[in-house]
A and B are shown apart, each in its own frame.
Chain A
Amino acid sequence: MFLCLLPAFFFLAVFLYYPIVETFRISTMRTAGLGQELYVGFDNYAKLFANDEFQAGLVHVFQWAFWSVIVQLPLAFAIAFALTWYGNRLTGFLRAAFYLSNVLPSAITAMLGKFIFAPNYGIVASFANLLHWKWLGGIDFLGDPKLAFWSIFAVATWAYTGFPIIYLMARIEQIPRDVREAAMLDGASPWRYATRIVLPETSYPLRILAVLCTVGSLKLFDLPNMMTSGGPGNATVTLGITLYRHGFVNWNYGKAAAIGAIIFALSLVFTVLQFSIGRKKGEGQ
C-alpha cells in the first residue's frame, strides 16, 4: 500500500523538500560561482534589508497587495452580484468574456499591456493623436517612474479580476432561491439584498480571495519583469525581481536564497494572519 505513495513522495522529496532545506542552508552562505561557500550567518538577510532595491521591492509588493484587495475585490463583487441578480441570456456569455483575459499566459498579457501603453505608437498614444490631445499623447506610461507601477497595476486589474468574478458568482449562485424570493417579498432593494445577505454569505470566499491576492502579490514577477524589467530605476521592482537579479543575473545564490526564504515566511504569516482574523469575526456572529 505504501508503495502507492512512493511516486508522489519521490517527486516531492527531490523537487520540494530537498530544495526547501537547501534554500535555508544556502541563505546563510556567501557563494562565489559554483562550489565555494562561506558560512556568514544572517549576513545576507541583514544586507538585504539595508539594500535600496530590496526595500523598494518589499514596499511595492505590499502596495500591490493593498490596492489589489481594495480595487479588484469590490469591483469583482459588484460585477458578480450584478451578473447573478439579472440572470438572463447574456449571463453565460459575459461570464466567459470576463474570464477570458485570465486564461491568457502572462507573456501575452505583458505583450498586450505594452501594446496599450507603448509611447508614440501604443493604443493610448495613437488614440490621443487622433483627437490631438497632446497632453495624453506625450505620456510615457511605462517609462515614467511615477506611472509605471500604476500602469502595470491597471494591466493586472484588467487581466486578473475575472477569477474573483467567476468564483464569487459560483458562491452567490449557491444561495438558495427561496432566500432571494423571501427578501424580494419583503420589499428589499437589490442594494439591501447585496449588502445584508449576499455579502455575509460570501465572506468566506472573499477572505480566501484576499489571501490569494496578498500571497500572489508577494510572488509578483511575470508582468513587471516583462513590461519594465523592474524599471525605470527601481520603480517597479518586486521581491521576485530582486530574487531573479541577485540569483540569475549576478549569480549571488546566497542573497537570492535569502529572498526566497523571506517570500516563504511572509506568505506563511499572511495566510495564517488573515485566516485567524476572519475566523474570530465568523465566531462572533
Chain B
Amino acid sequence: MSDRSVLDGSPARRRSPKVRHGAGEWIVMAILVLMALAVILPLILPFLFVFKTQLEFSYHPWALPRQIRWINFVEAWKAVRIDQGLVNTLIVCAGAIAFTIPPSALAGYVFARYRSRLTEILYYAVLLGYFVPVQMVLVPLYRMEAALGLSDTLHGLFLPMAAFGIPFWTMIYRSFFRSLPGELVEAARIDGAGHAGIFFRVMLPLAQPATVLAVILVFIGAWSDYLLSLILLTNQEHFTMQLRVASFLNAYGTDRMPRYAAAAIISAAPTVILYLLGNKWIIRGTIAGAVKE
C-alpha cells in the first residue's frame, strides 16, 4: 500500500469474503467480546461505587446505589481542581502543536525536494534525535531550564516537548512530500510561483492528511505526558491534568473508594470522550505513524 492511501485511510479495511464459519465463529467471537469487555470494565465499574457513601460502600459494594449522591464528585473535583488542570494541559497541547508541526513540515519539505550530500548528513542528524530517549536528557534539560528561567512555566514544558517530536514528524513529512509527484512543482514554477509560493500554496495544502495526523498525535502525546511535566513543573498552580491525577493518587489514596472512583471518572472522562468521538482517526493515525519507519 502506498504512503498516501495509508494516510487517507482509503480502502485498507474492506470486509473479508463472506464465508460460513459456523459454531467456531460464535465461540471465538464470544471470547473476543468478553476480552474487550474486560478492557473496558475498569472504566465502567467506578460508576457502581461513585454514588454511595463510604458506609454504604463498605457494607454493600456491589449493590446498586440506594440514591444518587453527587457529593463524591464535588469532593474529588475540589481535590483535583480539574478545571485549572484542563486549562494548563490545553495550553501545553496548543504550544506543542504550534512548535512541532511548522518546523517539521518545513524541514521535511527541504529534505524531500533538495537532495544533496549535505542534506543527507543533516537528515541523519535529525534521525539521531528520534533514537534518543527523553530520560537521557532530563538532567541537563532541567539545569538549562533553571538557568534560562524557563523551569516551572508552561512554555518551558511545551518547547522541549516540541523538540522531541520534531525528528519523527520531519520523517513523516519528508516521506509524504516525496510521495507527491514532482510535476506539480514544475507546473507551479511555470505559472510563476516562487519557492515560498510553491510551498505554501501548493505543497502544504496537499500535505493536509499528514498535518491532520500530526495535530491528533501531538495533541495526544502532550495531553498524556507525565515524566516531563513531573520534572519541569513544581508549582501546584501550573500542574497539568496528569500531575493532578498523580498527586491525588498519593495524597488521597483508596481508603475512601467512592471519592476515588469519582476522581477516576472525572479525570478519565475527557480522554474517553475524545476517543469515542475520534477513535477512527486516532487508530488510523497511530497505524499510519507506526507504519512509516
Q: Which residues of A contact B (CB under 8 A)?
A: 1-2, 4-5, 7-12, 14-20, 22-23, 26, 34, 79, 82-88, 90, 92-101, 103-108, 110-112, 114-116, 118-123, 126-127, 129-130, 158, 162-163, 166-167, 170, 173-174, 177, 180-181, 184, 190, 208, 215, 218-219, 221-222, 226-227, 239-240, 243-244, 247-248, 253, 256-257, 260-261, 263-264, 267-268, 271
B227 to chain A, nearest CB (A): 6
Is B33 on the interface with A (CB-CB < 8 A)?
A: yes
A8→B28 CA distance, assembly (Å): 49
Residue B183 at the chain A interface, CB threshold 8 Å: no
Number of interface residues of B (CB under 8 A): 104
User: Which segment of B67-75, B127-135, B205-213 sits at the interface?
Assistant: B127-135
Instruction: Knowing A243-B138, A260-B137, A264-B132 are in contact, say whether A8-B166 is a contact too (CB < 8 A).
Output: yes
| Interface contact B61-A129, CB-CB below 8 Å | yes
Chain B residue at minimal CB-CB distance from A190: B24
B25 within 8 A of A: yes
Query: Are B286 and A163 within 8 A (Cβ)?
Result: yes
Least CB distance from B34 to A in Å reads 11
> Residue on A with the closest CB to B167?
A12
**CB <8 Å contact, B143 and A253:** yes
The list of the 9 closest CB pairs from A to B, nearest first, reads: A15-B163, A22-B140, A118-B254, A19-B137, A105-B224, A7-B103, A19-B140, A97-B36, A8-B107
A82 vs B227: C-alpha distance in the bound complex, in angstroms?
Answer: 36
| Residues of chain B contacted by A122 (CB below 8 angstroms) | 254, 257
A-B contact pairs, 19 of them (CB 8 A): A4-B107, A5-B106, A8-B166, A9-B107, A11-B166, A12-B166, A19-B136, A23-B140, A79-B35, A86-B21, A90-B29, A90-B33, A95-B283, A96-B280, A105-B224, A114-B254, A121-B57, A130-B62, A166-B283
Q: Which residues of A contact B162 (CB under 8 A)?
A: 11
Residue B268 CB within 8 A of the other chain: yes
Contact pattern, B 103-139, Cβ under 8 Å of A = 1, otherwise 0: 1101101100010000000100110010111111111
B29 near A240 (CB under 8 angstroms)? no
Query: What is the bound-complex CA distance between A98 and B35, given in angstroms?
Result: 8
B149 contacts the other chain (CB 8 A): no
- Nearest chain A residue, comparing its CB with the CB of B227: A221
**Contacting pair A111 B264 (CB below 8 A):** yes
C-alpha gap A99/B36 in the complex (Å): 9
The CA-CA distance from A43 to B64 in the complex, in Å, is 61
State whether A247 touches B61 (Cβ < 8 A): no
**CA A221 to CA B134, docked complex, whole Å:** 12
The smallest beta-carbon distance between B46 and chain A, in angstroms, is 7
A37 CA to B272 CA, complexed, in Å: 48
CB-CB < 8 A to A9: which residues of B?
A: 107, 122, 125
Chain B's closest residue to A159 (CB) is: B39
- What CA separation (Å) do A173 and B230 show in the bound complex? 40
Residues facing A in B243-293 (CB within 8 A) are 243, 245-246, 248-249, 253-255, 257, 260-261, 263-264, 267-268, 271-272, 274-275, 279-280, 282-283, 286-287, 290-291, 293
Of B58, B62, B137, B164, the most chain A CB neighbours within 10 A belong to: B137
Are A222 and B226 closer than 8 Å at their CB atoms?
yes
Taking CB atoms, residues of chain A closer than 8 Å to B17 are: 177, 180-181
The minimal Cβ–Cβ distance linking A22 to chain B, given in whole angstroms, is 4
Q: How far is the CB of B175 from chain A (nearest CB, A)?
A: 16
CB of A267 within 8 A of CB of B133, answer: yes
CB of A12 within 8 A of CB of B163, answer yes
Q: How far, in Å, is A276 (CB) from chain B's closest CB?
A: 15
Q: Does B170 contact A (CB under 8 A)?
A: yes
Taking the complex as formed, is B16 at the interface, i.e. its CB lies under 8 A from any CB of chain A? yes
* Nearest CB of chain B from residue A138's CB, rounded to whole Å: 16
Given known A82-B28, A94-B33, contact A173–B140 (CB-CB < 8 A): no
List A contacts of B166 (CB < 8 A): 8, 11-12
A104 to chain B, nearest CB (A): 6
> Whose C-beta in chain A lies nearest to the C-beta of B224?
A105
Residues of A within 8 A of B243 (CB): 107
- B254 to A121, Cβ gap below 8 A? yes
Q: Which residues of B contact A114 (CB under 8 A)?
A: 249, 254
Q: Known pairs A9-B107, A9-B122, A15-B159. 4 more at Cβ < 8 A?
A: A7-B103, A8-B107, A11-B103, A97-B36
B264→A5 contact, CB < 8 A: no
Least Cβ–Cβ distance between B231 and chain A, in angstroms: 6
Given contacts A96-B283, A100-B275, A115-B264, contact A107 B246 (CB under 8 A): yes
Q: Smallest distance from the beta carbon of B191 to chain A beta carbons, Å?
A: 20
Q: B195 and A1: CB pair below 8 A?
A: yes
The CA-CA distance from A69 to B139 in the complex, in Å, is 30
A173 to nearest B CB, angstroms?
6
Q: Chain A residues near B66 (CB, 8 Å)?
A: none
What residues of A have a CB within 8 angstroms of the CB of B274 in the complex? 103
A158, B39: Cβ atoms closer than 8 Å: yes
Instruction: Tell me, rounded to whole Å, the shortest Cβ–Cβ distance linking A205 to chain B.
Output: 9
